[in-house]
Chains A and B, each alone.
Chain A
Amino acid sequence: MKYVDEFRDPARARALASEIAGLVPRIARTRERPLQIMEVCGGHTHAIFRYGIQQLLPDAVEFVHGPGCPVCVLPMGRVDDCVALALQPQVIFTTFGDAMRVPGSRLSLLKAKAEGADVRMVYSPLDALAIARDNPAREVVFFGLGFETTMPSTAMTLIAAKKQGLRNFSLFCNHITIIPTIKAILDSPDLHLDGFLGPGHVSMVIGTRPYRFIAEHYKRPIAIAGFEPLDVLQALWMVLKQLAENRCEVENQYGRIVPAEGNRQALAAIAEVFELREYFEWRGLGSIDHSGVRLRASYADYDAERKFCIPNLKIADPKSCQCGEVLKGVLKPHQCKVFGSACTPETPIGSLMVSSEGACAAYYNYGRIARSQVVDTTGLRAAVKVGA
């Protein structure tokens, strides 16, 4: 695949890891405590565990895993809303596969399907639209979720639905937006972050400018990063270099995908279809102002929240679960009381154990590999360890 192997080269990873180790003593505050760099995006969390990147780094550099996994931050009540919609006899409920196993208070979508609800997994919102065209007598609801990465595809699908005059298609909108989320993290008193790896694919849509407040107002360095191991290491090196040189800037490691100005067509589609909500409820994090979007009035006919009666109940997370602390990066996954015992990928209690981009699932699936020193599939970690 294009530019995949090139960014997995073990020799280069080794070189980068040792450059990083060389930078650390130049950053004064590492003498008091380890540096904490947050990767906002769940895709990075997954890459860090899959390639064993933390193990390549000096002890004085720690990744803090952020809340950027849209499936993980779905509150339980929202899953119940999905199930309630899916159980209506005229409805075909369409969703990305990632959301199927997230536990609701009674059922997940997967279990609702087993109980007879018509739930269909789709790869693309366009496939959901095709289902609507093929089933004119049914109501097809698409469960839209994700940050700005997936927002344009939902928006363009709705624009197409309106153009085609389809009346039996609607969106249950759970899209969220990245900037208020990062602000909420920066304002959180429990966290002392030294810098950020910026989300690569969100930035492909919004560009690099919206992050300026992180450098200018909060005085933290950020580097937007790709998802291969060398991307992550190089972006980390960029952040540490800024710290060593007392700079705070927005840098872009992922120039092959992320243009500084973002994607004009995608942003126009978002602006046409969506508007900000006053607030939005997150699993474990509570309500964050302006962190979600809803459909504009001009798309009211396609809004499942207006078309159907949605219970919209607030359901507290189970007491044993500490997803909120893990989402904010205050606790490491294994510090949750039920991690690996009551909560596993087979029997998830929290959503972070469901998605492959969730910190708990990544920790569970790959953390054990690291503990037993089995070489990972790419051989990257093995090569680096041998060479170091």
Chain B
Amino acid sequence: MCLGIPGRIVALSDAESRLAVVDVSGVRRSVNIACIVDEAHPPESCVGEWVLVHVGFAMSRIDAEEAERTLALLHELGEAQAEIEAMRNSAAARAG
């Protein structure tokens, strides 16, 4: 109930009442999109978007740019690790 699940909005069912159809891993159900609609984001703009669904409500758009930024940081951490490992290995190689 608290975790939520990512899904993609595939259609509007009733823009007036802020209802849309979401596809969550192939399962479709009606969700309320009032939390992700405002002047800058009319209901029509939600179709095709990835959202996080909690108990029948789309609570947040999944921000792809932010996700990529987080992944990039993770990637850098991984690279630093590779670097350190390379240093360690070459030091070991030198020590013979």
Contact = CB atoms under 8 A, between A and B. Distances in A.
Nearest to A238: B73
A11 B79 CA distance: 11
A255 B32 contact: no
A237 B76 CA distance: 13
Contacts of A266: 35, 59
Given A1-B25, A256-B64, A266-B35, A204 B56 contact: no
A124 B55 contact: yes
A230 B52 contact: no
A184 B69 CA distance: 34
B77 to A, nearest CB: 5
B59 A201 contact: yes
Given A1-B6, A12-B75, A253-B70, A263 B55 contact: no
Contacts of B67: 3, 6, 255-256
A41 B1 CA distance: 13
B42 to A, nearest CB: 13
Q: Which of B32, B37, B57 has the most CB of A within 10 A?
A: B57
Interface string B15-55: 00100000001000010101111100000000000101011
A98 B1 contact: yes
B9 to A, nearest CB: 12
Given A3-B62, A257-B63, A123 B6 contact: no
Interface residues of A, number: 54
Given A6-B71, A43-B2, A227-B3, A123 B81 contact: no
Nearest to B17: A160
A265 B18 CA distance: 12
Contact of A255 (B8, B57, B70): B70
Contact of B57 (A97, A124, A237): A124
B25 A126 contact: no
A357 interface: yes
A153 B74 contact: no
Given A230-B74, A256-B67, A201 B57 contact: no
Nearest to A227: B3
A114 to B, nearest CB: 22
Contacts of B57: 124, 126, 152-153, 156
A96 B4 CA distance: 13
A263 B56 CA distance: 16
A289 interface: no
B78 A15 contact: yes
Contacts of B93: none
A366 to B, nearest CB: 16
Given A227-B3, A234-B70, A156 B32 contact: yes
Nearest to B59: A204
A221 interface: no
B91 interface: no
Contacts of B74: 12, 15-16, 230, 234
A205 B59 contact: yes
A257 B56 contact: no
Contact of A3 (B4, B6, B8, B25): B6
Interface of B: 1-6, 8, 17, 25, 30, 32, 34-38, 50, 52, 54-57, 59-60, 62-64, 66-67, 69-71, 73-75, 77-78, 80-82
18 contacts: A3-B62, A7-B71, A14-B81, A15-B74, A15-B80, A43-B3, A97-B1, A124-B57, A153-B57, A156-B34, A156-B35, A201-B59, A256-B66, A256-B70, A259-B63, A263-B60, A269-B34, A269-B35
